[in-house]
């Protein structure tokens, strides 16, 4: 699925290049020399993978997505960011998680946790530069539009929705994405959000995501 999404991104960029060279109202108006990509979950994996493979991409960000494709093993030599939700299922003992049926088995939990932890850390370590942060009170679905929808108490999405207010998670996510893309696509002075000198959100934890 991540490979399909990566191919979709390439298709869109190819079409934008064609439009920019054509005779439509957008011809010559698209600055494709300043191209960045971000996505959520598998889309975040695809954003990083596309940026690894295609020199047209200058910067990428992954919103709480595991990196199943090659980028999660070799990284990328471009500016990259991981914005993660809290993942108690990866911080608590795997035997407890298996008993609670969060994972089918202890072995499954250990492999899944290693995949996510190693993949994220490889991205941050190999990127030039790499940034990683966790938003306390956020869960996986908080990076999708569904967090703003009414959800009945028995909705399965309640399980993957965090305790923090959706508006706050949206604001934090937007601020850090804008800081990332402004810095590396618009050549602005590196944001104080990125280097940690400005900390307007106590919910944000910079650095490693969880220990295994």
Backbone angles phi, psi at 209, to 5 degrees: -95, -50
Q: For residue 36, is it within any domain?
A: no
**3-state secondary structure labels for all residues of 107-169:** HHHHHHHHHHHHHHHHHHHHCCCEEEEEECCCCHHHHCHHHHCCCCCCCHHHHHCCCCCHHHH
Q: How far apart are CA 93 and CA 77, in angstroms?
A: 34
Q: For residue 199, is it within any domain?
A: yes
pTM (2 decimals)?
0.90
- Tell me what the mean pLDDT of segment 176-197 comes to: 92
Please tell me the total count of domains within the chain. 1
How high is the pLDDT of residue 91? 79
Q: Model confidence at 111, in pLDDT bands (50, 70, 90)?
A: confident
How high is the pLDDT of residue 212? 43
How high is the pLDDT of residue 208? 65
Q: For residue 91, is it within any domain?
A: yes
Is residue 211 scored above 70 in pLDDT? no
Q: For residue 56, is it within any domain?
A: no
Q: For residue 45, is it within any domain?
A: no
- Tell me what the mean pLDDT of segment 44-67 comes to: 97
Which range, 54-68, 144-158, 195-209, has the best average confidence (pLDDT)? 54-68
How high is the pLDDT of residue 210? 60
Q: For residue 147, is it within any domain?
A: yes
Under a CB-based contact definition with an 8 Å cutoff, are residues 184 and 79 in contact?
yes
Q: List pLDDT tens digits, range 86-102.
A: 988 787 889 998 998 88
How high is the pLDDT of residue 178? 96
Q: For residue 4, is it within any domain?
A: no
Host domain of residue 137: 64-206
């Amino acid at each position: 699925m991540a490979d399909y999404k990566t191919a979709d991104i390439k298709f869109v960029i190819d079409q934008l290049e064609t439009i920019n060279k054509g005779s439509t109202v957008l011809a010559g108006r698209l600055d494709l020399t300043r191209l960045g990509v971000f996505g959520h979950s598998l889309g975040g994996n695809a954003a990083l993978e596309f940026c690894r493979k295609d020199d047209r991409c200058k910067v990428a960000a992954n919103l709480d997505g595991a990196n199943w494709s090659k980028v999660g093993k070799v990284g990328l030599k471009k500016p990259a960011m991981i914005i993660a939700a809290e993942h108690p299922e990866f911080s608590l003992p795997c035997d407890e998680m298996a008993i609670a049926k969060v994972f089918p088995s202890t072995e499954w939990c250990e492999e899944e946790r290693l995949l996510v932890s190693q993949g994220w850390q490889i991205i941050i370590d190999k990127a030039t530069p790499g940034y990683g942060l966790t938003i306390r009170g956020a869960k996986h679905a908080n990076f999708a539009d569904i967090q703003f929808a009414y959800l009945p108490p028995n909705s399965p999405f309640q399980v993957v929705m965090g305790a923090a207010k959706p508006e706050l998670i949206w604001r934090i996510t937007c601020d850090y994405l804008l800081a990332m893309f402004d810095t590396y696509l618009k050549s602005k002075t590196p944001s104080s959000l990125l280097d940690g000198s400005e900390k307007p959100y106590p919910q944000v934890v910079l650095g490693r995501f969880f220990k295994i």
